[in-house]
Structure 1
Amino acid sequence: HPDDVERSRIAHSHVIDTGSLHIDLRLRCKGGEYRWFTWASTLSGEYAYSLAFEITEQKKTEEELVELAEQNQRIIRTIFDGYLLGAMDGHILDVNQTYCDMVGYSREELLQKTVYEMETNYNETDVIAFASNMTQSEVSVLVETQHYHKNGQLVDVEVNNIFWEDGRITCFIRDISERKRMERKIRRSEQRYRGLIESQIDFVCRYTPDTVLTYVNDAYCDFFGRSREELIGISYLTLAPEESKKDILARIHEVMENPAPDTRIFYFYDSGGNKYWVQWIDYGITNEAGEVVELQAVGRDITPMMEAQQQLAEREEMLTTILENIPLMVAQGDEKGRFNYVNKYWVEVLDWTLEEIHSLPNMMEIFYPDAAERERIIQSIIAGQEGWMDTKIRTRNGNLLDTSWANVQLSDGRKLGIGQVVTHRVELEKQRLYAQSLELELQKERELRALKERFVSLVAHEFRQPLAAMSTSLDFVLRYQDRITAERSNEKLLMVQKQIQRMAVLIEDALRFSKADAQKTEF
């Protein structure tokens, strides 16, 4: 081989000088390829005798081992973990730069130390016993311990110890200080979290996808009237009503597909058999592969809220029933005249549906064609005028309907109008006024009749006086006409004439009174 020519010349000279030689060379064979041979030569007289053994495969193996060793050294020098090679007696034989940086020592300083000088949890006896146990078990051992830093601080490390047949121990050392710090922080956080969980009134539980409980807090135990030992390890489906199990399993299936939190409401029975509504917020706990391995649920007793909602629903149903059946018009609208609700009676009376109202540009103009009346109604709605207000409202067929409306303001500021048809009341009012006018006429009639009676009595009285006077005067004249003078007779006749005139006046008054009564003339 060209690379071995010079070595071959040196070897030839060496044989001549010393009489023997052992050398490995590459020779080109008939096929042109080079093969390795190991030569053992000896000089005898004028000749050199040599024995050659082909070692091509051995050389390839050696080269591969050398390359592998170089690769291992490169890996050891560049890996993020520390590397330490130790003897059975604990002396450090080799380290990489990562471990030097980890403990603050130089490589030269570490090669002067033993493993137990760096170790805090094991002394020399422990290290030797540990190495002996490794020899017997012939396995690698992973331990967590602490190594001394040059500055005196302790470094948390994870050590993977591997025993070799030559008695050496390889240690791959990982700095887990940050992980340990986080673990301590997590433990403290878990303690606080557990304290918080155990002290809160909400129910907290964790369970596997097949519903087996793995954790419950005190509130959960108290609610179901069982101890933690009785609950851990059982399926919480045994605590649920039969009719809820299907929905619970469906929710678990959803969590397995999507572990995001969600809220569900289920009812349970406590240890006393009382029905309670519980609002659960559950979510999936996943592993590194994103698979749900456990579920956690936080429950809160919302029975008072559910009962209040039920009572509210019953009340709303009752109010709706009343509104839809009461013989009063009910409408809810805003200050712009837009209606948001009208009841059944409103539709029956005015013959407009809510959808039809919304389709029209301005219903107030249709309801109240008179601008002044429309403005009065709008202002009364805006002002929230109390009491009933009478108005005429136009129906779908164009008739003006007598109605009376009252404004009611709700707690949220909305305005509610309550109306009633007052046509009957208006008719009654007309009848009342008519009856009142009739009563006045009758009163006048009674007064007139009384007046007539007094007048007739007066006339009769007034008639009797002149008639008596006339009768007396005529009787006197007739009886004594032969004995009285003409002057005296004329005097009596004049008196009779005056009485006749007086009676004529009375008769005229009676005629006028009769005419006034017939014509209902006020006088």
Structure 2
Amino acid sequence: MFNPNPAADGNCTIVFDTDEQKYLFVSESFYGLFGVGAGHLHQNLDFLTGLVNPEIFDGIKQLTDRLAMNESIQITYHLQAGQKQLTEKRTLATDALTGHKVILSNITSALEGVRTPIPFIKPGLSEQFLHSLIDSSTNFLVRIDINGKFSFANRLFFSAFGYDEADIIGHHFSKTTIPQDAYLCEEAFINCITNPGKIIRLVHKKPAKDGSLYDTEWEFVSMTDDSGAVVEIQGIGRDITPQMQIQEEVLQMKDSLEALINNTHDHIWSVDKKLRYLYMNQAYVEQVTYLTGVKPCKGQYSYKHEGFSKQIIDDWTVYYNRALSGERYDIISESIDPVSGQRLYYEVSFNPIYTAAGDIIGAGCFGHNITERLKIQKELVSQNDRLRNIASLSSHELRRPVASMLGLIGLMDHEDFYNPENKEIIAHLFTVSAEIDTAIRLVVDSTIVK
């Protein structure tokens, strides 16, 4: 019988009738957990066939064949495809309805939480095999007694941290704990002692023998005897140093980007599809607060900002919606400085924000103060107008009297200076000189900015 309801991806249950050699129950999550199709169980009476190393498969079969009624074993193995590591508790029981022997398997991802400890079993082939499984694990495995001293650690633990058994076994767990994290380890230890069966999670830095530090992630569970008393604590852990380094690099990049964005005078902000502020850099927050007297806040609806007039809100709602519809464009936004009363101009760029799937989830805005630029442009236009006016004056108002002066000088009697006609010409020269002076004054006046 197969369970029609999907279960959690991290665990599954399998019930196998050994007398009739058939599956009575299999969780739907089995297929995702083991990465196989439905045909796998129809073709194989042992669900691990072809999924684990043949030597591991044979060892598990030997352990299963040695089970007494109502006896359980717990084993950890990894799948050949994808190297996924799983923990299985396998129990031999009797079906109350049929009286048949059944194998009940509860399987979890290794770090999803092991609810019961790996058992101690009698010396011999089974113990050797179990230890080989433990030592082939890709996770750390340790046991700590109720006094806080190591009683066991697997091969990976020793090789990763450079310790020998003599360095660890019989020594307090604080030997592999840095002072800064000692309280975390103490709390985890006490929680395990006082909460039997509860999974206690711990993330801390563990020092290697050579002084190197490793970021590690652990799950601890207490082991109890038949009376329920805690006798040991078992921990399964893994090295997460690479992940932590990546996270640290990401945070550093984020902080650097934030610093860069917040050190610019340009305004950078974004809104979601409901026109709520998603992000605002410091320059935008300060400018809006200065202009309106009301500080904008992340998550606030931009169209409900108390400092904006209804007309401004209506205009900007249109701007945002254009970007949310996929349009990229620029506008010139005009504001009034509340202190000086001068006009301020900003060039604002609107850009839709897309997801990896191509869906628009918001609008990103970039504003740049162009007040000074427009002022310079205006001055340049005015200067060009003045230069054109000077050129016009030079061409007409100044050249005409100069031409007249040159003509009069040409009419003068240079041989007989006292010729009566020269007196009349000189009088005309005075008149022309006055005209030249007036034209020059016009040119000078045109160069002065009013």
Aligned to 1:305: 243
Supply the AA of the counterpart residue of 2:322.
Q
Measured after TM superposition, the shift of residue 250 of structure 1 is: 1.4
Q: Identify the residue that residue 276 of structure 1 maps to in structure 2.
A: 214
Following superposition, the deviation at residue 308 of structure 1 comes to 2.1
Relative to structure 1, the CA distance from residue 399 to residue 282 in structure 2 (aligned partners, 3 Å threshold; closer, same or farther) is farther
Matched residue of 1:300: which SS?
strand
Say which is worse superposed, 253-262 or 274-283, in terms of deviation: 253-262
More contact order relative to length (CA 8 Å, sep ≥ 6): 2
Q: Structure 2: which amino acid aligns with 1:231?
A: I
Say if 2:269 and 2:277, in contact at 8 Å, map to a contact too.
Answer: yes
Alignment-mate amino acid for residue 420 of structure 1? H
Q: Which runs of 5+ in 2 are unaligned?
A: 1-67, 70-91, 95-100, 106-118, 356-360, 414-418, 444-450
Partner Cα separation in structure 1 for residue 313 and residue 188 of structure 2? 62
Residue from 285, 310, 313 that aligns with 2:223: 285
Cα displacement (A) at 1:277? 0.9
Whether the aligned pair in 2 keeps the contact of 1:284 and 1:294 (CA below 8 Å) is yes
- Deviation of the 1:450 alpha carbon: 5.2
TM-score relative to the length of structure 1 = 0.48
How big is the shift at 1:230? 5.0
* 1:422 pairs with 2:370: yes
Structure 1, gaps ≥5 residues long: 1-155, 158-176, 466-470, 475-502
Bigger radius of gyration among the two: 1
Structure 2 distance, partners of 1:205, 1:383, is 56
* Match in the other structure for 2:186: 249
Which residue pairs with 1:379 in the alignment?
322
TM superposition shift of 1:222: 0.4
Q: Where in structure 2 are the equivalents of 1:179-258 lying within 5 Å?
A: 194-228=131-165, 231-258=168-195
Deviation of the 1:199 alpha carbon: 1.6
Please state whether the residue corresponding to 2:312 is helix, strand or coil: coil
Change over 3 Å in CA distance of 1:295–1:451 after alignment to 2: same
Determine the structure 2 residue equivalent to 1:391. 333
Q: What is the aligned partner in structure 2 of residue 494 from structure 1?
A: none
Between Structure 1 and Structure 2, the one with more helix by share is 1
1:422 and 1:296, CA in 2 relative to 1: closer, same or farther beyond 3 A? same
In the alignment, the residues of structure 2 paired with residue 327 and residue 367 of structure 1 have an alpha-carbon distance, to the nearest angstrom, of 27
Which AA in structure 2 matches 1:226? Y
Query: Percent same amino acid among aligned pairs?
Result: 16
Matched-pair contact (CA < 8 Å) for 2:200–2:221: yes
Cα RMSD, aligned residues only: 4.6
Q: Which amino acid aligns with 1:416?
A: G
The 3-state SS of whatever aligns with 2:328 is coil
Question: In the TM superposition, what are the counterparts of 1:32-51 in structure 2 within 5 Å?
Answer: none
Is 1:340 matched with 2:278?
Answer: yes
User: In the TM superposition, what are the counterparts of 1:127-146 in structure 2 within 5 Å?
Assistant: none
Distance in 1 between residues matched to 2:160 and 2:411, nearest whole Å: 114
- Give the SS at the match of 2:279: strand
8 A Cα contact 2:324 2:362, kept in partner: no
- The one-letter code matched in structure 1 to 2:158 is C
| Cα distance in structure 2, aligned partners of 1:343 and 1:202 | 44
Partner of 2:219: helix, strand, or coil?
Answer: strand
- Contact 1:350 1:396 (C-alpha < 8 Å) held by counterparts: no
TM-score by length of 2: 0.55
- Corresponding residue pairs, total: 306
- 1:357 and 1:215 mapped to 2: Cα distance? 52
Structure-2 residue corresponding to 1:447:
395
Decide whether aligned partners of structure 1 residues 292 and 377 sit closer, same or farther in structure 2, where only a CA change above 3 A counts.
same
Seen in structure 2, the aligned counterparts of structure 1 residues 271 and 423 have a Cα distance that, compared at 3 Å, is same
Aligned partner of residue 293 in structure 1, secondary structure: strand
Q: Which residue of 1 aligns with 2:72?
A: none
Identify if the C-alpha distance between structure 1 residues 367 and 182 changes in structure 2 by more than 3 Å, giving closer, same or farther: same
Counterparts of 2:273 and 2:335, CA distance in 1: 18
Contact 1:368 1:393 in 2 (8 A): no
Give the Cα–Cα distance (whole angstroms) in 2 for the partners of residues 373 and 406 of structure 1: 12
Residue equivalent to 2:48: none
Is the contact between residue 351 and residue 365 of structure 2 (CA under 8 Å) also seen in structure 1?
A: yes
Q: Give me the whole-angstrom Cα distance separating, in 1, the residues matched to 2:256 and 2:227.
A: 55
Cα distance 1:315–1:357, how it changes in 2: closer, same or farther (>3 A)?
closer
